[in-house]
């Protein structure tokens, strides 16, 4: 009998990671360098690598694949590098400058408090549209959706002629109050596509029907700007998979934590901006459910970035005002905060101050760290770890690629000489600076939301997460970190475990207390929108889970706080319960005593998530059949605590028995990652082959 496989690939800036799960629970992984700009080649290479581990050809595996899911950075890369298509913006006449003004805070959007104080960073975002072709059309709709000024077809025709002459490829249409009445936006789309069917036209009233003129327009412009690049990539991937034997429709991971059809992904590339990182958060939610952990901080260290997410009571936390490349985006997204700190982050000395800096520039996949031997010349975090002895140069990627330790050391000598320190001290400094940046983000993600990090489990994954987790959890109050057995490909694991899901949002303004029927009716309409998107993947599902949230704020505030509403709204008592829940959630986020009911409450928006819940795809961790602890190999590792080298035990992960338990220092190597157990940490292998690190504060460091 032919087995069906579930395959997922997360394509990052440095590596493409693959996870394959069989019907009976077996799991295999694959990894291959990403191949920009033709990322689809790296995706297939990762599947080929997994197939080789399984003893199959690529064609045999894809021909037996029931479901292929994909997380991608194509949209993100196109936005960051400004390699989208030539995009025009049509808005209401008189409001052409709203997207450029950016509510006056675009210069500092997304910056940390320290960065805000650095005035050299106060720069506007490079436009994700052609600023020469922002046009205002004659029309006007009021806040209630009433047409005050009909759409002028003469005005529209003049704009269309200008855009045609300019060679425009995509158009973002975002009119004032269009979410209250989309009639004019739809008329504009029909007119433009009738004359230019090759154009991509994005409507704000369909993409993101929420209040906030600037944010809605920016989101719509970004979506149009990324449309052709994303569509081209998705079509290439779909064709390549079909050529290699895959017979079904590929699915794509969205930033909201669910998978969608590839066609939907082509139409809404803005939904893919945190596609891969969202997979890691969903993987942690799945694994946390198995381990009985409902409050989790997720940390993903890749080649170019460090990503942190949060799960509270089993549910991923959604971003309130996500910022990408200094543009505020209003599309539903799991909150994943990122900094430029990863294995490929480049070390450098700041001119003027003479201070050692690490990141945010990265060596990426090409040329990569110096030790990869692909032409890199600038020292990176990975090179520093290798110089310190924390990595075995003969066992990188399971021994498929030998690292150049001598080259890594040579690349650091000029920096060390400039700073007047030894190469080992420089390498320690590079790693510690990177760890410090990561630890700051972990604290920021939790403490600023009113949560104590010590009450959360921390999951470490990504190719470099297990190598740095002791460093970036130390000092945060977090005592326990979990490293899953598939940690280096964990985002791909989360993608393969994710359900088809859709999130719908809309603006609704109601003063609380309100009539229950009015709120229930609005939530019902939104639920139908989410279900309609689900049906784009399949006509029916056995189990559909609905999660409803009401965004509530105190009178005079700008931003609402989401409050779960998983109960019927039938009476005044239900509305009172909603208001009480808001006070509780508000104080959780902003501190006890901050709730002030006398200010008055107002609903500002609604959010509904519909998910086609499927049983988690079980897996057998495999390996670890030994019952006795294996004899380690010893290699020298450099420690600050001793000010020198120390013989340190190196273990092979697949040889460890369940129950393995020892005090650091120790290093555990697997095919795709290295786990560094610092002297003040201990490590234990649980029944699911998860490595559990515990901070003992006082472990032997000598």
How confident is the model over 67-81, as pLDDT tens digits?
A: 999 999 899 888 888
Q: Give pLDDT, residue 626.
A: 56
Cβ–Cβ under 8 Å, residues 129 and 221: yes
Angle (CA) 493-496-498 rounded to 5° is 105
Domain boundary among 565, 589, 612: 612
Question: How far is Cα 576 from Cα 478, in angstroms, rounded to an integer?
Answer: 37
Question: How far is Cα 602 from Cα 551, in angstroms, rounded to an integer?
Answer: 9
Tokens 């509403």 locate to 565
Report the half-sphere exposure of 439 (CA within 13 A, side-chain side): 17
Tokens 């999660």 locate to 547
Listed range (114-118, 484-488, 537-541) with the worst mean pLDDT: 537-541
Question: How far is Cα 516 from Cα 306, in angstroms, rounded to an integer?
Answer: 44
Q: Give pLDDT, residue 346.
A: 92
Band the pLDDT of 448: cuts 50, 70, 90: confident
Which tokens belong to 682? 């201990």
| Residue 301: other Cβ atoms inside 10 A | 29
Q: Within 244-380, where are the H helices?
A: 262-267, 275-291
Q: What is the pLDDT of residues 79-100, one digit of tens each?
A: 888 889 999 999 999 999 988 8
- Domain range for 576 is 501-612
Question: C-alpha distances in angstroms, 263 versus 76, 87, 249, 407, 435?
Answer: 18, 21, 9, 46, 40
The DSSP secondary-structure symbol of 26 reads B
Which tokens belong to 113? 């408090």
Inform me whether the pLDDT recorded for 415 exceeds 70.
yes
Listed range (4-13, 529-538, 591-600, 637-646) with the worst mean pLDDT: 529-538
Angle (CA) 358-362-364 rounded to 5° is 150
Q: Which residues of 340-371 are buried (b: 16+ CB within 10 A; e: fewer)?
A: bbbbbbbbeeeeeeeebebbebbbbbeebbbb
Q: Give pLDDT, residue 596.
A: 86
The DSSP secondary-structure symbol of 559 reads S
| 297 Rama class: left (phi>0) / alpha (psi -120 to 50) / beta | beta
Tokens 């234990």 locate to 684
In a domain, 359, yes or no: no
- Using DSSP's 3-state secondary structure scheme, residue 69 falls into strand
Band the pLDDT of 629: cuts 50, 70, 90: confident
Which among 576, 297, 288 is positioned nearest to 448, based on CA atoms? 297
Question: How far is Cα 413 from Cα 308, in angstroms, rounded to an integer?
Answer: 33
Q: Give pLDDT, residue 458.
A: 96
The kind and range of the H/E element at 67 are strand 65-71
CATH code of the domain covering residue 146: 3.40.50
Question: How far is Cα 75 from Cα 273, in angstroms, rounded to an integer?
Answer: 6
Cβ–Cβ under 8 Å, residues 18 and 9: yes
Q: Give pLDDT, residue 698.
A: 42
| Residue 179: other Cβ atoms inside 10 A | 22
Q: What is the pLDDT of residues 284-305, one digit of tens each?
A: 999 998 889 999 999 999 888 8
Band the pLDDT of 684: cuts 50, 70, 90: very high
Q: Give pLDDT, residue 475.
A: 87
The DSSP secondary-structure symbol of 28 reads E
Q: What is the pLDDT of residues 459-514, one digit of tens each?
A: 999 889 999 999 999 988 898 999 999 998 999 999 999 888 888 888 888 999 99
Which tokens belong to 152? 């002028």
Q: Give pLDDT, residue 231.
A: 96
| 331 Rama class: left (phi>0) / alpha (psi -120 to 50) / beta | beta
Angle (CA) 320-502-21 rounded to 5° is 110
Handedness of CA 234, 237, 241, 244 (dihedral sign): positive
In a domain, 399, yes or no: no
In a domain, 140, yes or no: yes
Strand bridging mode 544-554 / 323-324: unpaired
Which tokens belong to 250? 């590929």
Longest CA–CA separation in the chain, Å: 82
Question: How far is Cα 242 from Cα 258, in angstroms, rounded to an integer?
Answer: 23
The secondary structure of 195-219, three-state, reads HCCCCEEEEHHHHCCCCCHHHHHHH
Question: How far is Cα 19 from Cα 283, in angstroms, rounded to an integer?
Answer: 12
Per-chain mean pLDDT for the chain:
90
Cβ–Cβ under 8 Å, residues 222 and 336: no
Which among 649, 702, 660, 661 is positioned nearest to 679, based on CA atoms? 702
Total-model pTM: 0.85
State mean pLDDT over 435-439: 94
Give Cβ neighbours of residue 182 (< 8 Å, ≥ 6 apart): 203, 205, 206, 209
Number of domains in the chain: 2
State mean pLDDT over 549-555: 93
Domain boundary among 612, 627, 661: 612
Domain boundary among 178, 204, 232: 232
Q: Give pLDDT, residue 127.
A: 85
CATH code of the domain covering residue 555: 3.30.1490
The kind and range of the H/E element at 308 are strand 306-312
Inform me whether the pLDDT recorded for 539 exceeds 70.
no
In a domain, 665, yes or no: no
Tokens 């991971």 locate to 253
Which among 304, 288, 317, 375 is positioned nearest to 344, based on CA atoms? 304
The DSSP secondary-structure symbol of 620 reads B
Question: C-alpha distances in angstroms, 457 versus 293, 319, 653?
Answer: 7, 20, 22
1 versus 284: the higher-pLDDT residue is 284
φ and ψ at residue 199, rounded to 5 degrees: -70, 150
Question: How far is Cα 153 from Cα 188, in angstroms, rounded to an integer?
Answer: 9
Cβ–Cβ under 8 Å, residues 328 and 321: yes
Q: Give pLDDT, residue 52.
A: 95
Question: How far is Cα 632 from Cα 406, in angstroms, rounded to an integer?
Answer: 25
Q: What is the pLDDT of residues 295-354, one digit of tens each?
A: 999 999 988 888 999 999 898 988 877 888 888 888 889 998 888 888 889 999 988 888
Which tokens belong to 302? 């890749």
Q: Which residues of 444-476 are buried (b: 16+ CB within 10 A; e: fewer)?
A: ebbeeeebebeebbbbbbbbbbbbbbbbbbbeb
Inform me whether the pLDDT recorded for 109 exceeds 90.
no
φ and ψ at residue 697, rounded to 5 degrees: 45, 80
DSSP3 helix / strand / coil % (the chain, rounded to 5): 35, 25, 35
Question: How far is Cα 674 from Cα 463, in angstroms, rounded to an integer?
Answer: 8
Which among 447, 434, 501, 505 is positioned nearest to 477, based on CA atoms? 447
In a domain, 419, yes or no: no
Q: What is the pLDDT of residues 183-234, one digit of tens each?
A: 999 999 999 999 999 999 999 999 999 888 999 999 999 999 999 999 999 9
Question: C-alpha distances in angstroms, 624 versus 440, 627, 628, 656, 693?
Answer: 35, 8, 10, 5, 18
Q: Give pLDDT, residue 619.
A: 66
Q: What is the pLDDT of residues 637-678, one digit of tens each?
A: 999 878 899 999 999 998 999 999 999 899 999 988 899 999
φ and ψ at residue 179, rounded to 5 degrees: -70, -20
């Amino acid at each position: 009998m032919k087995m069906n496989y579930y395959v997922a690939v997360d394509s990052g800036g440095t590596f493409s990671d693959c996870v394959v799960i069989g019907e009976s629970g077996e799991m295999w992984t694959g990894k291959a360098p990403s191949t920009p700009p033709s990322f689809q080649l790296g995706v297939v290479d990762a599947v080929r690598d997994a197939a080789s581990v399984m003893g199959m050809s690529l064609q045999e595996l894809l021909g037996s694949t029931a479901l292929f899911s994909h997380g991608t950075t194509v949209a993100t890369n196109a936005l960051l590098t400004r390699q989208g298509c030539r995009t025009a913006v049509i808005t209401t006449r008189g409001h052409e400058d709203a997207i450029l003004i950016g509510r006056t805070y675009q210069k500092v959007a997304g910056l940390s408090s320290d960065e805000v104080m650095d005035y050299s960073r106060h720069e506007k975002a490079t436009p994700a549209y052609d600023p020469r072709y922002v046009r205002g059309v004659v029309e006007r709709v009021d806040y209630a959706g009433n047409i005050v000024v009909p759409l002028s077809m003469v005005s529209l025709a003049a704009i269309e002629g200008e855009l045609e002459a300019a060679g425009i490829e995509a158009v973002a249409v975002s009119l004032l109050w269009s979410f209250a009445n989309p009639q004019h936006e739809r008329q504009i789309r029909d007119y433009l596509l009738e004359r230019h069917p090759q154009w991509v036209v994005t409507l704000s009233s369909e993409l993101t029907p929420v209040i906030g003129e600037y944010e809605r327009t920016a989101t719509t412009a970004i979506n149009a700007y990324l449309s052709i690049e994303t569509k081209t990539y998705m079509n290439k991937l779909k064709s390549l998979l079909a050529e290699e034997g895959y017979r079904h429709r590929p699915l794509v991971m969205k930033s909201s934590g669910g998978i969608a059809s590839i066609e939907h992904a082509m139409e809404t590339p803005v939904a893919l901006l945190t596609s891969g990182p969202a997979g890691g958060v969903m993987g942690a939610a799945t694994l946390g459910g198995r381990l009985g952990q409902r409050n989790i901080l997720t940390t993903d260290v890749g080649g170019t970035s460090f990503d942190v997410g949060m799960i509270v009571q089993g549910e991923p936390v959604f971003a309130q005002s996500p910022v990408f490349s200094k543009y505020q985006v209003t599309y539903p997204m799991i909150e994943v905060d990122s900094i430029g700190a990863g294995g490929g982050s480049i070390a450098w000395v700041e001119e003027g101050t003479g201070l050692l800096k690490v990141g945010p520039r990265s060596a990426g996949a090409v040329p990569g760290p110096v030790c990869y031997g692909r032409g890199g010349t600038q020292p990176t975090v990975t090179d520093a770890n290798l110089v310190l002895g924390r990595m075995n140069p003969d066992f990188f990627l399971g021994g498929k690629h030998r690292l150049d330790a001598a080259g890594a050391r040579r690349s650091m000598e000029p920096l060390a000489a400039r700073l007047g320190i030894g190469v080992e001290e420089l390498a320690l400094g590079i790693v510690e600076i990177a760890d410090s940046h990561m630890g700051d983000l972990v604290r920021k993600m939790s403490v600023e939301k009113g949560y104590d990090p010590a009450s959360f489990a921390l999951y470490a994954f990504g190719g470099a997460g297990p190598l740095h987790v002791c460093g970036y959890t130390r000092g945060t109050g977090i005592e326990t970190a979990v490293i899953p057995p598939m940690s280096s490909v964990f985002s791909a694991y989360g993608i393969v475990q994710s359900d088809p899901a859709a999130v719908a949002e809309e603006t609704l303004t109601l003063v609380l207390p309100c009539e229950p029927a009015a709120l229930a009716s609005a939530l019902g309409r939104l639920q139908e929108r989410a279900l309609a998107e689900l049906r784009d993947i399949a006509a029916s599902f056995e189990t559909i889970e609905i999660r409803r949230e009401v965004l509530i704020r105190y009178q005079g505030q700008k931003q609402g706080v989401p409050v779960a509403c998983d109960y019927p709204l039938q009476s005044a008592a239900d509305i009172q319960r909603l208001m009480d829940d808001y006070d509780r959630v508000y104080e959780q986020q902003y501190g006890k005593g901050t709730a002030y009911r006398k200010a008055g409450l107002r609903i500002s928006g609604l959010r509904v998530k519909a998910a086609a819940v499927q049983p988690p795809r079980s897996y057998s961790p495999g390996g670890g059949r030994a019952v006795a602890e294996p004899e380690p190999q010893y290699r020298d590792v450099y420690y600050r605590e001793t000010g020198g080298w120390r013989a340190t035990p190196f273990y092979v992960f697949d040889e460890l028995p369940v129950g393995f338990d020892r005090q650091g220092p120790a290093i555990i190597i697997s095919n795709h990652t290295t786990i560094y157990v610092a002297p003040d940490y201990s490590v234990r292998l649980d029944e699911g082959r998860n490595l559990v690190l515990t901070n003992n504060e006082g472990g032997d460091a000598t």
